Structure 1
Amino acid sequence: MTLLIRNAHAILTGLPGAASRHAGPDMRIRDGVIEAMGALSPLADERIIDARDCVVYPAWVNTHHHLFQSLLKGEPQGLNQSLTAWLSATPYRFRAAFDESTFRLAVRVGLIELLRSGCATVADHNYLYWPDMPFDTSDIIFSEGEALGMRIVLCRGGATQSRAIEQDLPLALRPEGFDAYMTDVERLVGRYHDSRPESLRRVVMAPTTLLHSAPGAQLREMAKLARRLGIRLHSHLSETVDYLDAARAKFGMTPVQFCAEHDWLGSDVWFAHLVKLLPEEITLLGATRTGIAHCPQSNGRLGSGIADLLALEKAGVPVSLGVDGAASNEAADMQSEAHAAWLLQRARKGMLAQPRYEGGTFEGGADAATIEDVVRWGSAGGAQILGLSRSGTLQPGMLADIAVYRLDDPRYFGLHDMAIGPVACGGRASLKALLINGRMIVENDSVPGLDLDALRVDAMAAVKTLQQRALA
């Protein structure tokens, strides 16, 4: 079984430096694996994807999402709130309003939005769990991913203790028992987790917010169990200055020091956000090879700030991109996220530059991040953080997770370098093809069997249902 991507205008590989682009123009896939790249002649009976005037990227690897929030976009009460107030106004207020059908629809909407941006792998940090739930959110996420052929990494969130802001909210916010939480993680690993490189199902230990979701002794036990089971660890950290204040007030240390004290640093750990860090925290994260899921659009929408990817990567921190939840990111797709990451790293560096009248040399920030850097973060960086050893780059021997973009919208017309279009121009480039493990998932911008108009109607109805339930 072979497939030939032929006559690509440009290929970005996800690799660093000079290897970030490949002349191609052809790429052969055999049995789900990239076999060869270069000037290739078609084989007899080989399927051909004509990529003339198209650009080829590694499929995106999204390392942090909250899929249930796909039906909470632009929610008015939280629209102009910062993180803590937004949590109460939107995701916590609507949490009890979700039932099995609305949760399933939200997951489907989120996955399809990601898929149509060229995303193959989704790490969903799902925290909709409470005692005696009448439906299994984990099973829904895996089953919806399977129906679309996507790679799902379930980051099993939840909490075993409550936060102060949660006290007056619905019973659906009640914490789980510690034993029940640990038992369910073991159940999920036994039922779903597959560590093979080509696997489409993995499980991660991921209490929702490390400083608040469980006592320190329990966090150590969670880390111990995860490493015994051979799974990775994930949580939110240092999204705002409130994390630093809370860690010092409660524990007398910084957030990253707290993680170190409880065995939550290492190359098998990554955190979402890491916007507000002290220099010594960056050094510790880098020394332990702890990773980041950078979520620039959500951080901007909530007014949290811009993570310093340049300092983090220089220190040795693996960098990846995540969408976060659609309730704080109304463009919850990886192409938009990559575009924001490219712009905001430049803006951040420019804001920190010393003006000449203070004795410094103003250089601006236009060299902070290249398109190739952003593609590497969003593909190879994500694969490294998730432990996907044969995903994330386009080179022989790697799994064929490939996005072929057809730049046929006016927003891409006039480009002097078409290779940069999907990131530099933003928007949503139409997909000539999206392959996951060499399997055609999207063809000519169409997902087989998907009725987008029906999905839109269902989503509109579900939003009304959720609004009514939240008022009840």
Structure 2
Amino acid sequence: MTTTLIRNAAAIMTGGGANEAARLAGPDIRIEGQGIQAIGALRPQPGETVIDATDCVVYPAWVNTHHHLFQTLLKGDPAGIDASLTPWLAATPYRYRASFDEKRFRLAARIGMIELIRSGCTTIADHNYVYYPDMPFDSSAILFEEAQKLGVRFVLLRGGATRTRQLEAELPSAMRPETLDAYIADLERLASTFHDASPRAMRRVVAAPTTVLYSISPAEMRAIADAARKLGLRLHSHLSETVSYQDGAHAMHRMSPVEFCGEHGWLGDDVWYAHLVKLDEPEIAMLASTGTGIAHCPQSNGRLGSGIAPVRELSDAGVPVSIGVDGAASNEAADMISEVHMAWLAQRARRGMAAQPAYRGGRFEGGAEAASVEEVVHWGTAGGARVLGLEGIGRIAVGAAADIAVYRLDDPRYFGLHDVAIGPVASGGRPALAALFCAGECIVRDDVLPGVDLAALRREAALEVRAMMAESNRSAATRS
């Protein structure tokens, strides 16, 4: 069996949580087959591939637990750039959704995956909701195909809706809802074709109606949850991203969003939600007691003005925490390095906002203790593996899958660090990859993805964006 030696790393982050070692001295890591075979002071073996990690830091490869890859071609749309969630939905993703044919969908998915890979991410969970009756292409298959080409793990969060909000109802046929029977039938098809239940799976399928509060009925929530669990699939959706979720749940059901989900079978250790920005204490307790997780998306929540999720409180209560980049249409830098950098800062800022002067009863000055770099690394790696049910990944440990990012800190933003291990999270930016491994395969070497022409992708993206804008302008002119 072929082996690879990552040699002489300056620092190794493990992804370990509060009760595990967050760092290892190493300085060497041996990969054998798809897994990590040894860690320590190791000698090269005859014929072994050696990766020189001198002055580099090693992290577990990131696990992104919530994305909308099709939105990669919707970055910086002027109509939605200063809008909060609900008007932004109408202004950007719903307005352009009908513009995505097979070619554009595939291009967006490929560029989005490459953006993530270049940040050191090898597990991508995409909440795809581009589904409608009589679609001329299979968006699910395209996503799995593009992930396989790039050599990364892919989790399809199969979105969709059986009913629409008014803002969707006036839009083109691509917004038409599915039937419950069609949704469940496709879930069964996807599970039989792509789903692998093993702890190091390269392919997974999850039942993920776009938002359980608005996209499906309460009865359908139970039906989908029952069908998914019979198939051995996990559950995912958006929840409590803004106050509109609180208002909607109260107006329609006279309960909080989390209570509503609990009433209809959508809490449990096989469930996680994106966002969870607006929560009260009883909701946090319910999430914790049921093991329901969060995909924390701090950059999108900041960009849309939604707020900062109470991740410190959630983590302290025992809620499984992971990191997601959300869609590029509400996060113009949809990569994991910028996301974890924001997560580190935002929890500190949230805690600091609660500070009061002593004469008003204040007891602390700021919130710098609210999240450590080691904790953020855990959320973005092992934490993500936990909510996805991929317990064999997300850690640097003997026996774990060899999903490993080796970062070069050769950009000036990393010069002068007293602790180089924290550089990728604390300094942000994009540290170059000396190497990136997924399931033991080196998919990036010397910051290059084999077979990927970034200049050609940039030109193709620019052409498609100009065409989509022109189509949108013509459509607006016709309506007026």
Matching residue within 343, 346, 352 for 2:345 = 343
Q: Deviation per CA, 1:81-122, whole angstroms, max 9, x where unpaired?
A: 000000000000000011000010000010000000000000
Displacement, 1:166?
1.3
Is residue 390 of structure 2 the alignment partner of residue 388 of structure 1? yes
Q: How far does residue 465 in structure 1 lie from its aligned partner after superposition?
A: 1.5
Q: Tell me if the contact between 2:200 and 2:391 (Cα under 8 Å) persists in the aligned partners.
A: no
Preserved contact between residue 80 and residue 92 of structure 2 (Cα < 8 Å): yes
Give 1:10's aligned amino acid: A
2:42 to 18, 40, 43: 40
Measured in 1, the distance between the counterparts of 2:184 and 2:17 equals 39
1:231-246 alignment, distance < 5 Å? 231-246=233-248
- Aligned residue number for residue 452 of structure 1: 454
Matched, 1:16 2:4: no
1:299 and 1:15 mapped to 2: Cα distance? 26
Structure-2 separation of matches of 1:170 and 1:153: 28
Give the corresponding residue for 1:76: 78
Q: How does 1:425-440 map to 2 (within 5 A)?
A: 425-440=427-442
Show structure 1 runs of 4+ deviating over 4 A.
none
Instruction: Report the counterpart of residue 174 of structure 1 in structure 2.
Output: 176
Partner of 1:93: 95
Residue 285 of structure 1: aligned partner: 287
**Structure 1 unaligned spans of 5+:** none
What amino acid is the match of 1:265? L
**Pairwise CA distance, 1:153:** 0.2
Q: Is the 8 A contact 2:201 2:390 kept in 1?
A: no
CA distance in 1, matches of 2:450, 2:465: 25
CA distance in structure 1 between the partners assigned to 2:316 and 2:7 by the alignment: 37
Identity of aligned residues (%): 63
User: Deviation at 1:308?
Assistant: 0.6
Spell out, residue by residue over 1:312-349, the C-alpha distance to the aligned partner (whole angstroms, 9 max, x if none).
Answer: 01111100000000000001000000000000000000
Tell me whether 1:6 sits opposite 2:7 in the alignment.
yes
Please give the secondary structure, in 2, of the residue aligned with 1:364.
coil
What is the TM-score when the length of structure 1 is the normalising length?
A: 0.99
What is the rounded CA distance, in whole Å, between the counterparts of 2:86 and 2:359 in structure 1?
38
For 2:478, the equivalent position in structure 1 comes to: none
Name 1:265's counterpart in structure 2.
Answer: 267
**Residues 13-53 of structure 1: CA deviation (Å, up to 9, x unaligned):** 00024600000000111111101111111111111101000
Which one of 403, 406, 410 corresponds to residue 405 of structure 2? 403
Counterpart for residue 274 of structure 1 = 276
Distance 1:32 1:173 in 2: 41
Secondary structure of the equivalent of 2:124? strand
Alignment of 1:199-238 (within 5 A): 199-238=201-240
Deviation, structure 1 residue 243: 0.3
Amino acid at match of 2:140: S
Could you tell me how far apart the structure 1 residues matched to 2:24 and 2:258 are? 39
| SS of structure 2 residue aligned to 1:396 | coil
Letter in 1 for 2:170: D
Measure, in 2, the Cα distance between the counterparts of 1:355 and 1:436. 49
User: How many angstroms does 1:469 deviate by?
Assistant: 2.3
In the alignment, which of 58, 62, 66 is matched to residue 64 of structure 1?
Answer: 66
One-letter identity of the residue aligned with 1:443: R
Q: Deviations over 1:218-261 (max 9, x none)?
A: 11010001110001000000000110100010011110011001
CA distance in structure 1 between the aligned counterparts of 2:12 and 2:430, rounded to whole angstroms: 18
> Within 1, Cα distance between the matches of 2:361 and 2:191?
58
Give the distance between the partners of 2:196 and 2:170, measured in 1 at CA: 39
Q: Which amino acid aligns with 1:203?
A: V
Instruction: Give 1:194 shift.
Output: 1.0
Which SS does the other structure have where 1:78 is aligned?
Answer: coil
Paired with 1:408 and 1:460, the residues of 2 have a C-alpha distance of 30
1:51 is matched with which residue? Answer: 53
Query: 2:166 corresponds to which letter in structure 1?
Result: A
After TM superposition, give the deviation of residue 367 of structure 1 in Å. 0.7
Deviations along 1:38-85, one digit per CA (max 9) or x if unpaired, are 111111111110100000000000000000000000000000000000
Q: Count the aligned residue pairs.
A: 472
Question: 2: distance between equivalents of 1:110 and 1:301?
Answer: 18
Please name the residue that 1:316 is paired with: 318
Query: Which position in structure 1 is the counterpart of 2:359?
Result: 357
Matched to 2:416, the amino acid is: G
RMSD: 0.8
Q: Aligned match of 2:198 in 196, 202, 211?
A: 196
CA positional deviation for 1:203: 0.2
The separation in 2 between residues aligned to 1:169 and 1:180, in whole angstroms, is 21
